[in-house]
Every structure is written in C-alpha cells, then in structure tokens.
C-alpha cells in the first residue's frame, strides 16, 4: 500500500492563487523544474500575482496588480483554462514561458533582445521548450 502523497513545497504558495485544479497541477510541475534561484524569486515576491480564467462571450478578465515592492514593479501572469484541451508539453511550455516573462519583468535578457524570444529561450533552458506543431 502506498503512503500518503508528500505535499510539494510550492503547495501553500500555489493555493494562495486559487487556480483551477488542472492549471494548479501543471504550474506545480513547472515550478519543480525551475532553477532554485528562480523558484525563490517567485516564492519571496509578495507582489507576484497569478490567475486563470475561462474565456468566453462577455467574459472580462481583470489582471490583478499589486503595488510595487522594495523598488521593484509588480508582476502578474494570466493563464487561460482552455489549456486543459492542449497537449501537456504545450501546457507546461506556456506556463514556463509566462513565468519567464515575469522573471524577466517583461524585458529581454539584454536591452536589445526581444522579450518573446527571451521568454522562449529561458523556458527552453528550464526544460520546457516550445513544442513543434
């Protein structure tokens, strides 16, 4: 008989966002794959926000934004629950890509780097490359 599942160290942090169960599960898996310093960056940022929503006719999504903390701008990511209809490698890539944007404060890794390219490259370096279609 298997023992009780061990709770991830990210669970208390993730529960604070009240994400859909599917999204929650995959954000946890992506967080497990991030470098320690990136994990710490998110876990210790009291201004970081993460939400999900179900898009549809008449749905308006308001992105929660916190006040800047300790001289840093606030960060937020928004994930669509429609990800549940996509392949798992794509779901985790999207989550890693959005976390990469947040980690980079929506900038490139250098002043002249495109933020989208930077987020893709960082997600790939973290083990979540953009799947081939």
For 55, list phi and psi in degrees, rounded to 5.
-70, 155
Q: What's the pLDDT tens digit per position in 33-82?
A: 999 999 999 999 988 999 998 888 876 767 666 666 666 667 889 999 99
Q: How far apart are CA 36 and CA 86, in angstroms?
A: 28
Q: How far apart are CA 39 and CA 32, in angstroms?
A: 8
Residue-level pLDDT at 47: 86
Residue-level pLDDT at 9: 81
Q: 3-state DSSP call for residue 53? A: strand
- Give the residues across from 50 on adjacent strands: 77
Residue-level pLDDT at 119: 97
Answer yes or no: is pLDDT of 126 > 90.
yes
Q: What's the pLDDT tens digit per position in 68-107?
A: 666 666 788 999 999 999 999 999 999 999 999 999 999 9
Residues near 100 by Cβ (< 8 Å), separated by ≥ 6? 118, 119, 120, 122, 123, 126
Residue-level pLDDT at 4: 55
């Amino acid at each position: 008989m298997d023992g009780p599942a061990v709770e991830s160290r990210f669970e208390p942090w993730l529960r604070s966002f009240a994400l859909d169960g599917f999204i929650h599960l995959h954000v946890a898996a992506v967080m497990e794959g991030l470098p320690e310093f990136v994990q710490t960056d998110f876990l210790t940022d009291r201004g970081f926000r993460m939400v999900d929503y179900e898009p549809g006719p008449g749905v308006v999504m308001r992105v929660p934004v916190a006040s800047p903390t300790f001289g840093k701008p606030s960060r937020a990511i928004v994930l669509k629950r429609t990800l549940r209809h996509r392949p798992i490698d794509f779901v985790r890539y999207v989550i890693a890509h959005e976390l990469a944007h947040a980690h980079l404060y929506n900038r490139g890794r250098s002043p002249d780097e495109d933020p989208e390219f930077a987020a893709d490259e960082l997600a790939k370096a973290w083990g979540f490359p953009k799947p081939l279609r």
